[in-house]
Structure 1
Amino acid sequence: MTTALTAVSFWLSFEALHDLASAHRLHGERAWAWPATVDAFIAIGELLILRASLMQRVDWAAITLTAVGSLGSIALNVAGVGASHDPLDYVTAAVPPVAALLAFGVLMRQAHGFLVSRQSVLTAPPVPSAAPVTAPVEAQPAQESLESEEPVHSPVDKPVMTEEPETVTEPEQPPGELTQRERIDLIVRALYDSLGNRRPGTRHIRQALADAGLPNSDGTCREARIRVETAEPHLRDLPDAIAA
């Protein structure tokens, strides 16, 4: 309904401005194109205001553009009536541009609410959720290596080695003692947020890992991104970030 109201309001405003242009030496395509030089500023200004609100800032240039386009459209619609003794003639002429401004503003507000709600859904999962994916994988080699070393030791050391796998539990270590793969996955997962909800490219991942002093080959970068996106499938739907 908001879209229909916006379309009808702009159409009525265009019709009035078209008639004004036709009465002042513009005909054919030029008479139809001329209203866009006035009413189009309303749409452009409203879209720039939507963009600024999504970026959580105020764009005074966009507000000024919308105000100038709206006032100009209203003034020209009213001027097209000419001399009249009936005030309702001027009210009728002013209604379409005012309705176009308000209806398009409501439409942009609805679009803003939809985009903000979608953004909150995409950013809902916490960053540490990627850690459980790699923790069990790191624990198995540690236990297998301890078990494989048992036959090498003398029988005197056997009672001691059978108890060590129970006390050495790497997945239960404090967060400050993460394995190398866990650190890589956490750095890669953080890139999705730092890039503004976009999928990092191999160059982004390689630079971040190099800054952290971690392995950063192309294969390591791709495997880390696959692990993170397997844990959080919604990350695959994000747009790709453009590498600088």
Structure 2
Amino acid sequence: MRKIRIDAVLVQAVIAAALSFAHLHDIAEAAGQHGWKAWAYPISVDLLLVAAWRRLRTRVGSRPLAWSWFVIALTASLGANVATAGFLDLDHAPALLRLLVAGWPALAFLGGTLLAHTPTTNGHAPETTPESSPEAPQPSPAPDTAPDAALDLEPEPEPIEPPQEAPALPPAPVPAVPAALVEHARKVADAHHTATGHPIDTATLRARLGIPEPLADAIAAHLA
């Protein structure tokens, strides 16, 4: 079960409200309002005070209007507290007090109506975009340009530089060939020349000797 905690501020608020309520009742009764009418006056003052305070807390509507009615209701409450402290003879209430008490219902009704029916806006006009605003001027279409003028306005293409040729690679070094292999290749070449009447080519020499192509090229260079 949750424990009930007593808030000192809440207790103080209840005490202040009860005393102010009673003082307003006494002022109304001293001004000639008896019975249920005397009890209606403090209720009217407190309701106007709460309505003005709520309008100030929610930050909607006209803040000067809410402050004005808040000050009026607070003055009525504080005035009743001060008047019942012996500053006025409640047995012989002055005419001004009777006038204020008699006119309070109409004044409270006016304040409550203004607070309740004030437009709940923050005072800033809604922003409108050029697309949504009906009064925004529409941009006029750009005049059509002649084909020749449009061609003249086009930027000239930049000249394309021809691709640079890659530098020639140095000739591959001729691999060293053993002298014995050169002599053997020479004999094979002579035999081919005797049999065919034509000098041996590199492909045939490579096939006869069974050697890789770079080595065959190197031998052919020695035989040339």
TM-score (norm 1): 0.30
User: Greater share of helix residues, 1 or 2?
Assistant: 1
Of structures 1 and 2, the larger Rg is shown by 2
